[in-house]
Structure 1
Amino acid sequence: MVSEKDYLVLKHIVQRYFGKQCTLCEYEVLLRKVDYLVVRLTLVNPTERVVLKLAGPNAPILSPFDRTFAINQQVRKQTTVPTFEALAFDMSYDIVPYRYLLMTHIDGRLWSDVKKDIDLDDSQKLYQDFGRAVAQLHSIEYRTFGEIGIQGGINTSDPNYISALSNRAEQRIRNPYNRELFVSLLQQNECLFNDVVSPRLTHEDLNPGNILVRKRNGRWELAGIVDFDSAWAGGFESDLARLELWKGMIGEGFFEEYQTINPIPTNYTHRRLLLQLLWCLEYANPSEEHHKDTKNICDKLGIPVVTFL
Structure 2
Amino acid sequence: MKANELLYTEIVKRHLGTNLKLADSQVLLSKEDYVVVSITTEQPSHRLILKLAGPNAPLDAPFDRTYAMNQRVRQETSVPTFEAIAYDMSSSVVPYRYLMMTQVEGRLWAEVRHDLHDDDRCGIYRQLGNAVAQLHRIEYIGFGEPGNGDETTRAKVTDYLAALSDRARRRIRNAGHLDLFLALLQANKDVFNSIVTPRLTHEDLHPGNILVRCTHGQWELAGILDFDSAWAGGCESDLARLELWRGMTGPGFFEEYRQVNPISEGYPLRSSFYQLLWCLEYADPSEQHHTDTKLICDRLGIPAITFL
1:121-148 Cα shifts (integer Å, max 9, x gaps): 1100000000000000000011111111
Whether the 8 Å contact between 2:86 and 2:99 is mirrored in structure 1 is yes
Counterpart of 2:287 in structure 1 is: 288
Whether the 8 Å contact between 1:90 and 1:101 is mirrored in structure 2 is yes
The correspondence for 2:142, drawn from 139, 144, 151, is 144
The correspondence for 1:36, drawn from 34, 37, 41, is 34
1:145-204 Cα shifts (integer Å, max 9, x gaps): 111110242745433111110011011111111111111100100111111111100000
> Distance between the aligned counterparts of 2:150 and 2:183, measured in 1?
31
1:247-303 Cα shifts (integer Å, max 9, x gaps): 110000000000000010111001111110000011111111111111111111111
Amino acid at match of 2:201: T
Counterpart of 1:66 in structure 2 is: 64
> Distance between the aligned counterparts of 1:166 and 1:9, measured in 2?
39
Whether the 8 Å contact between 2:141 and 2:156 is mirrored in structure 1 is no
**Offset at residue 45 of structure 1 (A):** 1.3
Amino acid at match of 2:162: S
> Distance between the aligned counterparts of 1:235 and 1:93, measured in 2?
33
The correspondence for 2:92, drawn from 91, 94, 111, is 94
Counterpart of 2:189 in structure 1 is: 190
> Distance between the aligned counterparts of 1:205 and 1:104, measured in 2?
19
Q: Helix, strand or coil for the counterpart of 1:38?
A: strand
Structure 1 unaligned runs (5+)? none
Counterpart of 2:49 in structure 1 is: 51
**Offset at residue 58 of structure 1 (A):** 1.5
Amino acid at match of 1:158: V
> Distance between the aligned counterparts of 1:298 and 1:152, measured in 2?
39
Moved more, 255-264 or 115-124: 115-124
Q: Is 1:225 equivalent to 2:230 in the alignment?
A: no
1:46-91 Cα shifts (integer Å, max 9, x gaps): 1111110111111111110000000000111110100111000011
Counterpart of 1:250 in structure 2 is: 249
Q: Helix, strand or coil for the counterpart of 1:204?
A: coil
Q: Is 1:267 equivalent to 2:297 in the alignment?
A: no
1:18-71 Cα shifts (integer Å, max 9, x gaps): 111000001122112222111111101111111101111111111100000000
Q: Structure 1 stretches (4+) deviating beyond 3 angstroms?
A: 154-157
Whether the 8 Å contact between 2:161 and 2:185 is mirrored in structure 1 is yes
Report percent identity of matched pairs.
58
Whether the 8 Å contact between 1:193 and 1:271 is mirrored in structure 2 is yes
> Distance between the aligned counterparts of 2:180 and 2:264, measured in 1?
26
Whether the 8 Å contact between 2:158 and 2:196 is mirrored in structure 1 is no
Counterpart of 2:81 in structure 1 is: 83
> Distance between the aligned counterparts of 1:48 and 1:6, measured in 2?
18
The correspondence for 1:12, drawn from 10, 13, 34, is 10
Q: Helix, strand or coil for the counterpart of 1:222?
A: strand
Counterpart of 1:111 in structure 2 is: 109
**Offset at residue 231 of structure 1 (A):** 0.6
Structure 2 unaligned runs (5+)? none
Counterpart of 1:122 in structure 2 is: 120
Whether the 8 Å contact between 2:79 and 2:134 is mirrored in structure 1 is yes
Structure-1-length-normalised TM-score: 0.97
Counterpart of 1:239 in structure 2 is: 238
Whether the 8 Å contact between 1:147 and 1:155 is mirrored in structure 2 is no
> Distance between the aligned counterparts of 2:212 and 2:259, measured in 1?
22
